[in-house]
Structure 1
Amino acid sequence: MKVKVALRILLERSVKKMGKGMNPIVKAAALEMIERAYNEGIYVQISAGYRSLEEQASLYGQGRVYIYNGKNYSNLAKPNVTNAKPGQSYHNFGLAIDFFIVSDDGKKAIWTVNSKWQRVAAIGKELGFIWGGDWSSFKDYPHLEMTGGLSYKQLQAGKKPYITSPKTSKGDGHIMSIQKTINSRYKTSIAVDGVYGPKTRSALIKGLQVELNKQFNKKLVVDGKWGPKTKTAVITIKKGASCNITWILQAALYMKGFNPGTLDGEFGEKTEAALYKYQKASRISADKLAGKVTWNELFA
């Protein structure tokens, strides 16, 4: 009797392959895809995630002569594998993954694009990914990406994509609870649909503006916009803080795919751990303090 590969193994292998530069929501969606496919008897792994510019140069140099930043990345002994130069792949911004199917025991990679492969791609698309197999000019069957509507040039210029949390057919129950609390506490009327979209983000910012005005007399316009005055007005909170601003931090972390435990407004061990993991994943100072840089990363 064959032993079925454990879901934990597929997830651990995939996390390692995706690397540390992944957008946290894209990473969460990739892991959700693996779990959903597993529940349907399809065993999936991620083969690639974040790719540095140097790694992209090395891939682009396969099959051609290529110089990047004064270094020769030519490798004529290997065939072309990509037409994307450094900075021209969403992998370089942590917004793309590549996947493949594995055998039931998890020991063999299967690259045949069959019904199982197409089902995984369909799950990925349900979660918000764009599938390379749908492209007309060049079919890239292992490839899935979330671009946030941004071009390579915009990303190279430092613009950050706005990507919502992984979509589910019924909506995320925790997000629905957050949405209900926001409506009740801050007199908003956002849809309780379990999806972190632009209106929920704006409502969370409104809540933060209300709390800053109430607790710190900041005199902000409560407009739900992440503008210069709100960016300047935010305060730094840390472990031990107990207030509605901590609740907003917890809600924002959950929306980004980092679970702070119970959303109770208490900055405890789990909230600190979630914040630290988010800071590390976002490649900002992992100081376990929710200060201006962290707030800006959460809402910009």
Structure 2
Amino acid sequence: MITIETLKQRSLDKMGNVQTIVQEKVWKMIEQSYTEGIFVQISSGHRTHEEQARLYGQGRPDYYWNGKRYGHSGNIVTYATPGKSNHHSGRAVDFFLVSSDGRKALWTVNQDWRKVADIAKSLGFQWGGDWSSFKDYAHLEWPEKSQDVRDLQTKLRRLGYEPGPIDGLYGPRTKQAVITFQHQEGLEVDGSAGPLTKNRLNARTYPGNPIYFGAKGSVVKRIQRAVGIADDGHFGPLTEAAVCTFQQQHRLEVDGVVGPRTWRKMFGNRHPS
């Protein structure tokens, strides 16, 4: 039977210069799968732009990049052009299974394959088999951690969605919050926070603190317009009563306070900014 050490060495030869955290998690995935009697290898890791061009060219015979023809016959295996793949940053790897003696590659997406994907996801990877459009069953990706993602998570939470911890990682809970937001807003539902989603999110973002009796300013005027009263910018008794009526009509907690859920209902896709 093939050893863990052999699986790791073969994988190391294919991964190249991936991020340290990715390599550490891959080792754990191989080890945990091995205890289940499943033998996993990595087929690809870090890629140059030229390597990505060759992959993108498969199934696109007329594809040229930087003046050179990279297109060739075969089945399409990726939709990421050079410079657009997460393999460039060392955050992504592709895997496959091998027979117990290590001599045969196994590419059937069966129960064992999905078990490996579940193990990888439990370690923090995102799996291409979960993608809603083009499914890449061999693909594992470590979430990007950035201030932009933290900002996205903060805005989603202010609107009453549940993106998980504000940690800068675009993980499953953040993606689901984006999907819920896109569905609510009538946007294309793909789980990706692209320009259209970000622009809509910026327009809808809750100010961060509840707006209630005594508040003044442009935000109050916006609320008044949403509930159909004169926009004098002063949150007085009339505004409070109108907010209560709005909440009652939309089956929200009736407290006269514009918190995240009331704000989201006021300024959803049926209420342009």
Q: What's the TM-score, normalizing by structure 1?
A: 0.47
Q: 1: distance between equivalents of 2:2 and 2:94?
A: 20
Q: Specify the alignment match of 2:70 in structure 1.
A: 73
Q: Could you say if the C-alpha distance between residues 81 and 150 of structure 1 is closer, same or farther in structure 2, counting changes exceeding 3 Å? A: farther
Deviation at 1:149, TM superposition (A): 4.7
Confirm or deny: 8 A CA contact 1:59 1:81 kept in the other structure: yes
Q: Does 1:54 align with 2:50?
A: yes
Q: Specify the alignment match of 2:122 in structure 1.
A: 126
Q: 1: distance between equivalents of 2:9 and 2:68?
A: 34
4+ long deviations beyond 4 Å:
none
Q: 2: distance between equivalents of 1:147 and 1:66?
A: 30
Confirm or deny: 8 A CA contact 2:29 2:116 kept in the other structure: yes
- Larger relative contact order (C-alpha < 8 A, sep ≥ 6)? 1
Q: Specify the alignment match of 1:36 in structure 2.
A: 32
Q: Specify the alignment match of 2:8 in structure 1.
A: 11
Alignment length, in residue pairs? 149
Q: Could you say if the C-alpha distance between residues 59 and 120 of structure 1 is closer, same or farther in structure 2, counting changes exceeding 3 Å? A: same
Q: 1: distance between equivalents of 2:84 and 2:130?
A: 19
1:50 is paired with a residue of what secondary structure?
Answer: coil
1:93 is paired with a residue of what secondary structure?
Answer: coil
1:44 is paired with a residue of what secondary structure?
Answer: strand
The one-letter code matched in structure 2 to 1:141 is: Y
Q: Does 1:93 align with 2:55?
A: no
2:88 is paired with a residue of what secondary structure?
Answer: helix
Q: Could you say if the C-alpha distance between residues 79 and 41 of structure 1 is closer, same or farther in structure 2, counting changes exceeding 3 Å? A: closer
Q: Specify the alignment match of 1:297 in structure 2.
A: none
Q: 2: distance between equivalents of 1:82 and 1:57?
A: 10
1:100 is paired with a residue of what secondary structure?
Answer: strand
Confirm or deny: 8 A CA contact 1:90 1:147 kept in the other structure: no
- Larger of the two Rg values belongs to structure: 2
1:38 is paired with a residue of what secondary structure?
Answer: helix
Deviation at 1:162, TM superposition (A): 7.1
Deviation at 1:87, TM superposition (A): 1.3
Q: 2: distance between equivalents of 1:10 and 1:33?
A: 11
The one-letter code matched in structure 1 to 2:48 is: S
Instruction: Among all aligned residue pairs of Structure 1 and Structure 2, give the percentage whose two residues are the same amino acid.
Output: 54
Q: 2: distance between equivalents of 1:16 and 1:71?
A: 27
Q: Does 1:147 align with 2:143?
A: yes
Q: What's the TM-score, normalizing by structure 2?
A: 0.52
Q: Which runs of 5+ in 1 are unaligned?
A: 152-160, 164-300
Q: Specify the alignment match of 1:105 in structure 2.
A: 101
Matches within 5 A, 1:168-179: none
Deviation at 1:88, TM superposition (A): 1.3
Q: 2: distance between equivalents of 1:31 and 1:88?
A: 26
Q: Deviations over 1:98-126 (max 9, x none)?
A: 11111111111111111111111011001
Q: Which runs of 5+ in 2 are unaligned?
A: 148-166, 170-273
Confirm or deny: 8 A CA contact 1:11 1:34 kept in the other structure: yes
Deviation at 1:78, TM superposition (A): 2.7
Q: 1: distance between equivalents of 2:42 and 2:139?
A: 10
1:9 is paired with a residue of what secondary structure?
Answer: helix
Q: 2: distance between equivalents of 1:110 and 1:150?
A: 36
